[in-house]
Structures are given as C-alpha cells and as structure tokens.
Amino acid sequence: MFRPTTRERWDWVTPVGILGLALFGIAFIYSAQLERHGDDWIKQVVFLGLGAIIYTAVALIDYRFWLSVAHWIYLVCLIPLVIVLLPGVGGATTEKWGASRWIPLGPLGTFQPSETAKVAVLLIIASILIRSEIGTVKQSVGALGKLALAVGVPMLLILLQPDLKSAIVLPPMAFSMLYVSRLSARFFGVALGAFILLVAVVTWDSYSYVQFMDRHGYSYLTDRGKYEAQSFVPLHDYQRNRILAFAAPEKIDPKGTENTYNLTQSLISVGSGGLMGKGWTKGTQAQLGYLPRSVAHNDFIFSVIAEEKGFLGSLTVLGLFGLVLFNGIRIAGLARDRFGTLLAIGVTVLFTVHVFVNIAMTIGLVPITGIPLPFISYGGSFVLSCCMLQGLVQSVYRFRKDFT
C-alpha cells in the first residue's frame, strides 16, 4: 500500500558537503597550475556544472527504476571497456603513459570507461542480490558465482588497460554490499583467507622481483618488462616498482623513479604546511614544480591543500568528506527496502576507499596508485561518475517512503 510521497523533500547535507569539496577542488586546481597558467580549473567548473545536472536528474528518478534496467546498463558499459583495449582501430582510442584508458570525444576531451563501469557494477551487484535467494548453501554459491562473474569481467577488462587504481575499488564495494545482505560468517572468513593469500603472493612476487633484478644487474627504471615476462602474477614491472617504493624505497633511487620522487615531494608538501599553511597559491612545492605539475592538480591535490592551508585546511576537507560519508550511511539506514540500502552502502564504501587510499598514499601509508579524490581532483569522467553515484543516494532518500 502506497503512502504519501516524500519526493518533494531533499536531503541537503550531502549537497552542502559536495559543494564545499568542489570549491576546494576549483581553488587548489587553480593554485596547482598557477605558474604555468593552466586552465583546468575552468574545465573543472564546467564538469561540476554538468555533474550538478546529472546529480539532479538521477535524484529525480525513483531509484527502483534502475533495478529494471541494471543488466542493460551493465552490458552497455562493458562495450567501451572492450573498445578502449583496441588502440588505433578507427582512431577510436587514445593512449597515454603506456595505458589505453580513454576514448577521445573531440572538443569535449576524453571519456574514461572505467568510471561508468563503477556505476554499472554497483547496479548489477544490487540487482543480483535482490533477485537471488541466499537461504541455503547451494543458493548462496549460485548467487556468489553470478556476482563473481559480474564483477570479474569488468575488473579484468580494466586491469588489461592497465588501470589498477580503478579495479581495486570494486572488491570493497562488492564485499560491503554482500555484508549488508547478511551472508554467513563462513563466507567472509574464506574471503579474508583469500585476501591474506593474495597479499602473500604479491609479497613473494615482489621479493622474487628484487632477487631477479639484482642477480642480473638490471635497472629498476630502464629495464622494465624483464621480470613480468616470466612471472605468473599479472603485474607490470612499473607496478612492482610502486610497491617497492613503498615497502623498500632503499632499493630504488629516490630521484630515479617517478613514484618514489612523487612520494618524497608529497611528504615535504604535507609536512611543511604546519598548522595554518603557507597561504593559497603560496605553496613552494607545487608552485616551483617540485611536486610534479602533471599530478599536483589530480592525484596529489591533497598535498597542495595540506601545504597551502596546513593541518586546519586538511581537517576541513576531512570533515566535509566525513559529512558526506556518514550521511550516506544514515540514508542507507533510512531506506525501506534492500535495494535502496545496497545502493547507499555501495556508493558510500566506494567513496570511502577513494578518500582513504588517496590521502593515505600522499602521506606514505599505502603504495601510490593514482586514485583521485572525489569532487576535488581534476577529471571530467570521474567528476560526472561521482555526481551520478551521489544522485542515486539522494534518490534513495527522496523515494524511501513511497511504499511500505
């Protein structure tokens, strides 16, 4: 039986938090590119304007509509993930920094298919969990098999680009949605065991990589590709270098490998900011180019904020993220059906992973992966996907009381 709608009511907590983050992003993208007179801050304003339209449009649609089209959206989003792996075919793809991750859109810039894949994977996971019975072991195994295939295919396609940063955010989102579906503790015990095994394999592979490179006298910088050709672990040597830059930096020349150099400059940026910072556009690391300008306005934007606005500015950014994330959990609790809960939890955990990994890598707590900071880092596809995902959470809030 239907009750009076609440769709005329909006939750303003998340939009206020997003607005604050967006303003930080625009200001510090401008600052990071000031010395070379970059105009990416203007593009970011355009992306955020388009994102606001997408956010509003998605929020105005009853979130249960997406349940009926989740499989079609999933299939459509797989197509560009395949196309992007075919560089040079009809000029359909473009390659940057040794990876094929973008599809050119002419004057509109480029499109990164892995961003829309996040939305598609979120919807397909929620759809499968809603449509599946998870009462018996057989039913659980069947549902998990479908989920493994649904998540595994786009993950594999993303890894082949290669784009590790976009792939690693999918498993935490999937497991969080499985958790709220109340799977047995045994499943999560097995998953934890598998994770520990994965870490052990990567650790062993990294150790073997060091032994191989040192034994043959290869350079970690110039002789990339020597070890990956014979290893069964699907990692590229530059990815192994990133792990070493975090776990064993003494094995790599701090100025000879981009990842180690970036981390060193990022730590200097964050540490030199002090309590109040050096002032907007006054940060020497970004302004003088010590923090490379190719990453200062996107992956390492938090380092720029920490240097120029100090601990208090960093704390303000964390507070705004906390506002958005905790409100997402609140909305998940307010949802009246499993689909709404799954969507809100999945989006919130996805954003949590982005925030944690991005900030942690700038201060040396995790290896550098290049994960951007939501609503702050520069990037069109990423900004639009973030707005779309948060629009889904707003829709859950607005339509939560349309039924009992």
pLDDT digits (tens, 9 = 90+) for 335-368: 988 999 999 999 999 999 999 999 999 988 888 8
Tell me the pLDDT of the chain averaged across its residues: 84
Note the pLDDT of residue 175: 87
CA neighbor of 23 nearest in space, from 273, 293, 395, 316: 316
Among 74-88, 254-268, 289-303, 324-338, the range scoring the smallest mean pLDDT is 254-268
Note the pLDDT of residue 140: 64
**pLDDT, average across residues 74-78:** 94
Phi, psi of 340 (to 5 degrees): -65, -45
CA separation for the pair 381, 392 (Å, rounded): 17
Structure tokens that stand for 385 in this block = 């996907």
In degrees, rounded to 5, the angle at the alpha carbon of residue 393 between the alpha carbons of residues 390 and 395 is: 115
pLDDT interval class at 187 (50, 70, 90) = low
**pLDDT, average across residues 226-246:** 78
Does the pLDDT at position 37 exceed 50?
yes
Phi, psi of 189 (to 5 degrees): -65, -45
Percent of the chain past pLDDT 70, that is, above it, reads: 86
Among 130-139, 310-319, 360-369, 384-393, the range scoring the smallest mean pLDDT is 130-139
Q: Read off the pLDDT of residues 260-319 as tens digits, 9 standing for 90 and up.
A: 778 888 889 998 888 998 999 898 888 888 888 888 888 899 999 999 999 999 999 999
Note the pLDDT of residue 91: 40
Percent of the chain past pLDDT 90, that is, above it, reads: 41
Q: Answer whether the bond into residue 171 is a cis peptide, omega within 30°.
A: no
Q: Read off the pLDDT of residues 154-172 as tens digits, 9 standing for 90 and up.
A: 998 988 887 888 888 999 9
Prediction pTM value: 0.85
pLDDT interval class at 117 (50, 70, 90) = very high
- Residues sharing a CB contact under 8 Å with residue 392, sequence separation 6 or more, in sequence order: 58, 63, 66, 122, 343, 344, 347
Which helix (H) or strand (E) element contains residue 151?
A: helix 137-159
pLDDT interval class at 45 (50, 70, 90) = very high
User: Does residue 25 or residue 191 have the better pLDDT?
Assistant: 25
Among 162-171, 320-329, 376-385, the range scoring the smallest mean pLDDT is 162-171
Note the pLDDT of residue 135: 54
Note the pLDDT of residue 89: 45
Note the pLDDT of residue 1: 38
Burial of 319 (0-12, 13-18, 19+ CB in 10 A): exposed
**pLDDT, average across residues 76-87:** 87
**pLDDT, average across residues 236-246:** 77
Note the pLDDT of residue 148: 86
Does the pLDDT at position 28 exceed 80?
yes
CA separation for the pair 115, 364 (Å, rounded): 25
Note the pLDDT of residue 95: 47
Q: Domain limits of the chain?
A: 13-398
Does the pLDDT at position 138 exceed 70?
no
Note the pLDDT of residue 236: 78
* Residue in the block written with tokens 């759809």: 127
Q: Cα 280 vs. chain centroid, distance in angstroms?
A: 27
